Amino acid sequence: MSDTALPGSKNPAARNLFAALQLDTRLLGMIGAFIVLCLVFNVFTDGRFLTPRNIFNLTIQTVSVAIMATGMVFVIVTRHIDLSVGSLLATVAAIMAVVQTDILPPILGLGHPAIWIIAIIAGIAAGVLIGAFQGWMIGYLSIPAFIVTLGGLLVWRNVAWFITSGQTIGPLDDTFTMIGGIGGTMGETASWIFGFLAVAATLWLQIASRRRKASHGFPVKPVWAEVTMGVVTTVAILGFVAILNAYDIPTARLKRIFAASGETLPEGLTMGYGIPYSVLLLIIITVVMTVVARRTRLGRYIFATGGNPDAAELSGINTRFLTVKVFALMGGLAALAGAVAAARLGFSTNDIGTLDELRVIAAAVIGGTALAGGIGTIYGAILGALIMQSLQSGMAMVGVDAPLQNMVVGTVLVLAVLVDIIYRKRTGD
Partner 1 sequence: MATPLVEMKDMCIAFGGVHAVDHVTVDLYPGEVVGLLGHNGAGKSTLIKLLSGAYKADSGEIRINGDEVHIHSPRDARVQNIETIYQTLALADNLDAASNLFLGRELTSPLGFVDDDRMEAETRKIMGRLNPNFKKFNAPVKALSGGQRQSVAIARAVYFNAKILIMDEPTAALGVHETQMVAELIQELKKQGLGIFLISHDIHDVFQLCDRLAVMKNGQLVGSAKTTDVTDDDVLGMIILGKCPPGATPGPGALVDDTVVG
Residue 65 has a CB neighbour count (10 Å cut-off) of: 30
Candidates 30-38, 147-155, 183-191, 288-296; binding stretch for partner 1 (CB under 8 A): 288-296
Which is nearer to partner 1, 312 or 337 (by Cβ)? 312
Give the residue from 339, 346, 331, 333 showing the smallest Cα distance to 96: 339
Give the residue from 87, 105, 212 showing the smallest Cα distance to 155: 87
User: What's the rounded Cα separation, in Å, for the pair 310 and 313?
Assistant: 5
127 binds partner 1 (CB under 8 A): no
User: What's the rounded Cα separation, in Å, for the pair 238 and 199?
Assistant: 8
Distance of CA 107 to the CA centre of its chain: 35
User: What's the rounded Cα separation, in Å, for the pair 228 and 6?
Assistant: 18
306 binds partner 1 (CB under 8 A): yes
Q: How far is the CB of 217 from partner 1 (least distance, A)?
A: 8
Q: How far is the CB of 423 from partner 1 (least distance, A)?
A: 15
Q: How far is the CB of 365 from partner 1 (least distance, A)?
A: 17
374 binds partner 1 (CB under 8 A): yes
375 binds partner 1 (CB under 8 A): yes
2 binds partner 1 (CB under 8 A): yes
Residue 193 makes CB contacts below 8 A (sequence gap 6+) with none
Query: What CA–CA distances, in Å, run from 329 to 68, 74, 152, 301?
Result: 10, 9, 16, 15
Which is nearer to partner 1, 7 or 105 (by Cβ)? 7
User: What's the rounded Cα separation, in Å, for the pair 194 and 46?
Assistant: 32
52 binds partner 1 (CB under 8 A): no
Q: Which of 158, 300, 346, 354 binds partner 1 (CB under 8 A)?
A: 300
291 binds partner 1 (CB under 8 A): yes
297 binds partner 1 (CB under 8 A): yes
- β-partners of residue 185 are 276
Q: How far is the CB of 389 from partner 1 (least distance, A)?
A: 29
CA trace torsion 365, 371, 376, 380 (10° rounding) = 0
Candidates 208-216, 228-236, 258-266, 377-385; binding stretch for partner 1 (CB under 8 A): 208-216
308 binds partner 1 (CB under 8 A): yes
User: 171: cis peptide before it, omega within 30°?
Assistant: yes
User: What's the rounded Cα separation, in Å, for the pair 124 and 133?
Assistant: 14
Q: Which of 16, 251, 296, 411 binds partner 1 (CB under 8 A)?
A: 296
428 binds partner 1 (CB under 8 A): yes
Which phi and psi angles does 220 have, rounded to 5°? -120, 165
Binding string to partner 1 for residues 209 to 228, with x set by CB under 8 A, is what? ---xx--xxx----------
Which is nearer to partner 1, 48 or 210 (by Cβ)? 210
Which is nearer to partner 1, 256 or 425 (by Cβ)? 425
Residues that bind partner 1 (CB under 8 A): 1-2, 212-213, 216-218, 291, 294-297, 299-300, 303-308, 310-317, 374-375, 428-429
